[in-house]
Amino acid sequence: MRQTLTNTGRWRSNGLHCHSCAARCDSVWSQLDEPELDRLDQHKSVQRLDPGEVLYGQGDPCKGLFVVQSGSLALRKFDDSGRSVLLRLVVAGQAVGYRCFFDGGRYRAQAEALEATRVCFLKPTLVTKMFEQNPDVVRGMMQRLARELGDAEDRFLMATRRSVRCRLAHALLRLKDHHGEVDDEGVLTVQLPISRQDLADLLGTRPETIARTTRALEKDGVASFHGRRVVIPDLDLLFDELELDGC
């Protein structure tokens, strides 16, 4: 079993100041005022993870709350035989470990860096004090929990009612926000942060089906796939896929 960062003592107090952190605008901490940001800045710890490095393992006791400052994490669930399934991706501004924080249990999944990633760690005493002093932060956390539940319900509906082609188009549209670039001619390039197996896990299907679907999209000129690089000549073509399948 790989050693996790929560046990290595490699966290550092220095790092990007909360006031100038771009990811904060997309997080629940955007509700904090200047003195509260100063307190967060003084007491948070920051760590840089290399690709494949584990932040915490499934079954580890809860240490506190983690917030992705930059990069992305994969949350994986392991069965008794050691096989894993990718549950979801976590990007800059999003928190991980909060369900474990609230119920006081152990982590239900493993958090692993997909790329060079910086993560902030907040101790339970700090988070609790923030919650007590700023109800807007609690409200924001509850809203995120509600959205996460809604996203899980949407994924279940997509997996049972929509074609794999529609699901893949939907996934590419979601990935473009953090892993895509549009050039001057309107061509979208998405650099997939995950393998085909992981992509199949997210879409609730098999890698073989993903392969057939990508070939069909290439044949119809919707997208071309070059390893993990996906080129979409016209973004409207992806939206057309959703409309055709009623997504």
- Is the CATH number 1.10.10.10 carried by domain 162-245? yes
d(CA 165, CA 84): 24
Range with the poorest average pLDDT among 25-29, 176-180, 234-238: 25-29
In the DSSP assignment, the letter for residue 12 is B
Q: Quick one: pLDDT at residue 15?
A: 56
Instruction: Give the tokens for residue 178.
Output: 């953090």
CB neighbour class for 58 (10 Å; exposed up to 12, middle 13-18, buried from 19): middle
Q: Quick one: pLDDT at residue 3?
A: 42
Contact indicator for 71, 117 with CB cutoff of 8 Å: yes
List Cβ neighbours of 34 (8 Å cut-off, separation of 6 or more).
19
Q: What's the whole-number mean pLDDT along residues 45-61?
A: 94
Flag whether pLDDT at 7 surpasses 50: no
Q: Quick one: pLDDT at residue 6?
A: 47
Q: Domain segments of the chain: what residues?
A: 5-156, 162-245
Range with the poorest average pLDDT among 78-87, 89-98, 142-151: 142-151
Range with the poorest average pLDDT among 140-154, 166-180, 207-221, 223-237: 140-154
Q: Quick one: pLDDT at residue 186?
A: 87
pLDDT band at 159 (very low <50, low <70, confident <90, very high): low
d(CA 232, CA 247): 19
pLDDT band at 17 (very low <50, low <70, confident <90, very high): confident
Q: Quick one: pLDDT at residue 53?
A: 96
- CATH second-level architecture of 5-156? Sandwich (2.60)
The per-type count for the chain, helices as H runs and strands as E runs, is 8, 12
pLDDT band at 247 (very low <50, low <70, confident <90, very high): low
List Cβ neighbours of 211 (8 Å cut-off, separation of 6 or more).
196
Q: What's the whole-number mean pLDDT along residues 32-44?
A: 83
Q: What's the whole-number mean pLDDT along residues 241-246?
A: 76
User: What does pTM read for this prediction?
Assistant: 0.80
